[in-house]
């Protein structure tokens, strides 16, 4: 990536299925992806790893994608988002900096006890185990939290709230 790249617009990499990792430079501030129709990485399902740099403020491009992620990481210098617990351990998800809201989760994400809200499309288009259990500390499920989850079966979701 060019080191001065700041924005990636709609359909910039539409259907580029030869991509498997997206590791953005810290200069990237915005990536189109408010909906699946304007996503900069629309039509790509081979992405396994995403690294979110210092300046990125939202991850809608991930929420509105068909990526088959198994790894997601946020720069330690990002002032809005994190992927680590308070001790610096990777959780394989994207949380707000206060660690109360899960923005994007994966089947192997560690959901901290401080997380109380699963944001819009937090698990949309992701593969989940068939018996995925929502942790007891979750008090809010937002719009389309589990929209189009994948694995051939609709996950059985046990609510223990």
Residues 45-57: tens digit of each pLDDT: 889 999 999 999 8
Residues 61-99: tens digit of each pLDDT: 998 888 889 999 999 999 999 999 999 999 999 999 999
H/E stretch holding 60 reads: helix 60-63
The pTM is what? 0.87
């Amino acid at each position: 990536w060019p080191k001065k790249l700041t924005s990636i617009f709609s359909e910039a990499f539409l259907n580029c299925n030869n991509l498997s990792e997206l590791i953005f430079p810290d200069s990237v501030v915005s990536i189109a992806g408010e909906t699946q129709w304007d996503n900069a990485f629309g039509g790509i399902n081979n992405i396994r790893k995403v690294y979110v740099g210092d300046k990125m403020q939202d991850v809608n491009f991930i929420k509105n994608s068909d990526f088959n992620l198994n790894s997601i990481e946020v720069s330690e210098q990002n002032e809005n988002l994190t992927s680590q617990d308070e001790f610096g351990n990777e959780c394989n998800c994207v949380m707000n900096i206060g660690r109360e809201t899960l923005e994007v989760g994966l089947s192997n994400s560690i959901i901290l006890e401080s997380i109380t809200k699963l944001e819009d499309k937090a698990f949309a288009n992701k593969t989940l185990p068939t018996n995925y259990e929502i942790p007891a500390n979750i008090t809010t499920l937002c719009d389309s939290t589990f929209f189009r989850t994948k694995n051939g079966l609709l996950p059985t979701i046990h609510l223990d709230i």
